[in-house]
Chains A and B, each alone.
Chain A
Amino acid sequence: MTTPTAKTPNSYRTGPDEHGHFGIFGGRFVAETLMPLILELEAAYNEAKADPAFQAELADLSAHYAGRPSPLYFAERLTAHFGGAKIYFKRDELNHTGSHKINNCLGQILLAKRMGKTRIIAETGAGQHGVAVATVAARFGLPCTIFMGATDVERQKPNVFRMKLLGAEVRPVTAGRGTLKDAMNEALRDWVANVDDTFYIIGTAAGPHPYPAMVRDFQSVIGQEAKQQILEREGRLPDVLVACIGGGSNAIGLFHPFLDDLDVDIYGVEAGGRGLDVKNGHAASLNGGRPGVLHGNRTYLLQDEEGQILEGHSISAGLDYPGIGPEHAWLKESGRVSYVSATDQEALEAFQLCTKLEGIIPALEPAHALAYAGKIAPGLPKQAIIVMNMCGRGDKDIFAVADHLGMEI
């Protein structure tokens, strides 16, 4: 038999293996204190996943609390503007709390409850995940502590206030440089010190196994709905999927149900910041980083020659994470998904364009995805279909945008 390489797997949807590996990526690189906890979490998640009662409760909350399914919207005027492929938005910005983050938080809080945990912790960057966690914690009556870099607390005041209104304790993290990765370090430290009662709701498809797979599963509702909706609407699958990439949760949620539909081209859009050639001026882990180990998994990281982690930069606080979920690292190496980038400037332009032409104020994160969709749409035939994940709304970003445009609010 001549199978020289196992490069093209039979399916792109079978990962991870039992140790949490996607190819060489993923795994469980955590301190011993946490090891028994994540093994327990994995067992509890596997049980819950197979339990129809758990799935039914999640589906009910998704429908009546979060507002799913989110619509699939034909962005007619943007389509006309770009003059090529039809652009559809998967409108997860309409979810309760304003982004896709709620999909994952509902799943994890149900799991926390099932495991008998009585305290919730989480990290947040822009505050979208923090708000979603504070929301579900309020809904289920559990106390929660949100770790947020001190720099981000300053930058994202409205979300900080929202979390406080929802009853969360927001703990500013001054360690390191006070941004998202430092908040995640601090959440892990808290977890190590509160192993008995605490559940850590990680906000993206990263961290030690089983988080990347679990977060993906909870976010896959995006892609499952999108697939059904586009089939109903157009009678066929899309030609292209586009989503922005921070840690990768909204993207993997849209992509995963389509990974084995090989005629669908898939693009993940990283934050190009001031440009990929600017040292530490972007947050494009896949395009401008190298494999390494951080926060419990092996993946692409922004790091220097010594293996010290860099902060990265993006106009969007939700994208400036120096890592990326391990499944994306594997999808990049296997060639199934193309990872590209959009700069701060391109995202700002897309933000304004979308607002003016569609009456939808996007978050700066999906504005990156739209910027890239706008680049490829003109080169595609008019009957081609692009589905883009509009994973968050831009209310949180109006101050940052005003600042960049030199406008007074």
Chain B
Amino acid sequence: MSEADLQTRIAEKFQALKAAGRPALVTFITAGDPDLATSLEIMKALPEAGADVIELGMPFSDPMADGPAIQAASQRALAAGQTMAKTLQMVREFRATDNDTPVVLMGYYNPIYVYPAEQFVKDAKAAGVDGLIVVDVPPEADDELCIPAMRAGLNFIRLATPTTDDLRLPAVLQNTSGFLYYVSIAGITGTQAPVKERVHRHVARIKQQTDMPIAVGFGIKTGAQARELASGADGIVVGSALVNAIAESLTENGQAGPRTVANVKAIVAELSEALTNGASH
């Protein structure tokens, strides 16, 4: 078995969903947004509301690939004192009650680089993390993080984008495992809406080169959109919409409000419902 085939909760989850004939709902929140306790409460509520995979954002001061919603989430988390140690602790506490839902940490390289990387991948694995998405580490730098992550038993999930042409795709696929994240637009998170036909075309094109599950994300806000974009793919990633639900629920001074957790649950339930019903039609 090559390292790229490594079996984590991610592979199991996608296999189970495939058998059930339903696409995965991958949900993104930022760790520590709006504060550590609320964020953990949200995380724990996600699977029950219908999330199949959890992407947990590691907040960074300079999230270059993110739009205003996730930028603001990062800033809220950092202002509330979030650290990498607290993010890993969050995963550990989540695992105490949920040993089934895959957890993928998503973020930028610098906080990992200074951790440093070799130690980070070990600590993440020990905390119960299954995979990593690190936006600004391309295949050209695999030695630094991707290979150590695989050695530690973590999937390294890479983004393919509308600019990733057939020539470049093999490099992107090479050490990617778990699933491939197809970025539905040339752009940043939470901004433009993807064009359905274009996404379908690209996903079909990528499927010719890989058997790996493909999850589609960026700009997906509603159940209807999720259902449309899921066709031909294996999962849908929703982030900004959840983060916006958190932002809208905050009190005037930016603290968690009475509906913070419930708001996120409601939107996840709606998305899950749309994907489940969409699949049975």
Q: Which residues of A contact B (CB under 8 A)?
A: 19, 27-37, 175-176, 181-182, 185, 188-189, 192-195, 290-296, 298, 301, 303, 305-309
Q: A36-B163, A293-B109 are in contact. Are A31 and B114 (CB under 8 A)?
A: no
Distance of A33 Cα from B202 Cα, bound (Å): 14
- Residues of chain B contacted by A28 (CB below 8 angstroms): 138, 140-141
- State whether A296 touches B110 (Cβ < 8 A): no
Distance of A183 Cα from B233 Cα, bound (Å): 36
5 pairs, CB–CB < 8 Å, chain A vs chain B: A29-B137, A31-B64, A32-B158, A33-B162, A175-B71
- State whether B61 touches A31 (Cβ < 8 A): no
Q: How far is the CB of B191 from chain A (nearest CB, A)?
A: 7
- Residues of chain A contacted by B65 (CB below 8 angstroms): 31, 33, 189, 192
Q: A31-B159, A301-B110 are in contact. Are A193 and B187 (CB under 8 A)?
A: yes
Q: How far is the CB of B77 from chain A (nearest CB, A)?
A: 11
Among A192, A298, A306, point to the contact of B188 (Cβ < 8 A).
A192
- Residues of chain B contacted by A29 (CB below 8 angstroms): 109, 136-138, 141
Distance of A31 Cα from B110 Cα, bound (Å): 14
Distance of A126 Cα from B60 Cα, bound (Å): 25
Q: How far is the CB of A109 from chain B (nearest CB, A)?
A: 23
Chain B binding site: helix, strand, loop or mixed by DSSP? loop
| Residue B160 CB within 8 A of the other chain | yes
- Residues of chain B contacted by A185 (CB below 8 angstroms): 62-64
Among A31, A36, A307, point to the contact of B113 (Cβ < 8 A).
A307
Q: How far is the CB of B205 from chain A (nearest CB, A)?
A: 15
Among A27, A37, A293, A296, point to the contact of B163 (Cβ < 8 A).
A37
Distance of A292 Cα from B183 Cα, bound (Å): 26
Q: A29-B138, A32-B138, A175-B68 are in contact. Are A189 and B188 (CB under 8 A)?
A: yes
Given contacts A30-B138, A31-B135, A309-B62, 5 further A-B contacts (CB under 8 A): A19-B140, A28-B141, A32-B172, A33-B161, A298-B113
- State whether B114 touches A193 (Cβ < 8 A): no
Distance of A36 Cα from B171 Cα, bound (Å): 12
Distance of A189 Cα from B69 Cα, bound (Å): 14
Chain B minimum-CB-distance residue to A34: B163
- State whether A31 touches B84 (Cβ < 8 A): no
Q: A31-B136, A189-B64, A195-B186 are in contact. Are A308 and B159 (CB under 8 A)?
A: no
Q: A32-B138, A292-B110 are in contact. Are A192 and B62 (CB under 8 A)?
A: no
- State whether B110 touches A294 (Cβ < 8 A): yes
- Residues of chain B contacted by A37 (CB below 8 angstroms): 163
Distance of A121 Cα from B180 Cα, bound (Å): 31
Inter-chain contact total with CB atoms closer than 8 Å: 114
Among A32, A35, A189, A292, point to the contact of B114 (Cβ < 8 A).
A292
Among B61, B67, B110, B187, point to the contact of A293 (Cβ < 8 A).
B110
Q: Which residues of B contact A (CB under 8 A)?
A: 60-65, 67-68, 71, 75, 78, 83-84, 109-115, 135-138, 140-141, 158-165, 168, 172, 183, 185-188, 191-192
- State whether B110 touches A192 (Cβ < 8 A): no
- State whether B186 touches A35 (Cβ < 8 A): no
- State whether B62 touches A32 (Cβ < 8 A): no
- State whether B192 touches A193 (Cβ < 8 A): yes
- Residues of chain B contacted by A290 (CB below 8 angstroms): 114
Among B115, B164, B187, point to the contact of A32 (Cβ < 8 A).
B164
Per CB-CB distance, the 6 closest pairs between chain A and chain B, nearest first, are: A307-B111, A307-B114, A193-B187, A33-B161, A308-B61, A307-B110
Distance of A36 Cα from B158 Cα, bound (Å): 15
Distance of A307 Cα from B107 Cα, bound (Å): 12
Distance of A188 Cα from B108 Cα, bound (Å): 14
- State whether A33 touches B163 (Cβ < 8 A): yes
Q: A189-B188, A307-B113 are in contact. Are A32 and B140 (CB under 8 A)?
A: no
- State whether B84 touches A306 (Cβ < 8 A): yes
Most buried by B among A19, A29, A175, A301: A29
Q: How far is the CB of A110 from chain B (nearest CB, A)?
A: 24
Among B112, B114, B160, point to the contact of A303 (Cβ < 8 A).
B114
Q: How far is the CB of A18 from chain B (nearest CB, A)?
A: 11
Distance of A140 Cα from B114 Cα, bound (Å): 43
Chain A minimum-CB-distance residue to B116: A307
Distance of A295 Cα from B109 Cα, bound (Å): 11
Q: A29-B136, A175-B68, A292-B114 are in contact. Are A308 and B78 (CB under 8 A)?
A: yes
- State whether B83 touches A306 (Cβ < 8 A): yes
- Residues of chain A contacted by B159 (CB below 8 angstroms): 31-33
Distance of A103 Cα from B235 Cα, bound (Å): 49
Q: How far is the CB of B141 from chain A (nearest CB, A)?
A: 6
- State whether A195 touches B163 (Cβ < 8 A): yes
- Residues of chain A contacted by B137 (CB below 8 angstroms): 29
- State whether A33 touches B138 (Cβ < 8 A): no
- State whether B191 touches A35 (Cβ < 8 A): no
Distance of A185 Cα from B108 Cα, bound (Å): 13
Q: How far is the CB of B240 from chain A (nearest CB, A)?
A: 14
- Residues of chain A contacted by B62 (CB below 8 angstroms): 176, 181-182, 185, 294-295, 309
Q: How far is the CB of A383 from chain B (nearest CB, A)?
A: 47
Among A181, A195, A295, A306, point to the contact of B111 (Cβ < 8 A).
A306
- Residues of chain B contacted by A309 (CB below 8 angstroms): 61-62, 110
- State whether A193 touches B138 (Cβ < 8 A): no
Distance of A307 Cα from B116 Cα, bound (Å): 10
Q: A293-B113, A294-B110 are in contact. Are A30 and B168 (CB under 8 A)?
A: no
Chain A minimum-CB-distance residue to B167: A36
Distance of A182 Cα from B109 Cα, bound (Å): 17
- Residues of chain B contacted by A31 (CB below 8 angstroms): 64-65, 135-136, 159, 161
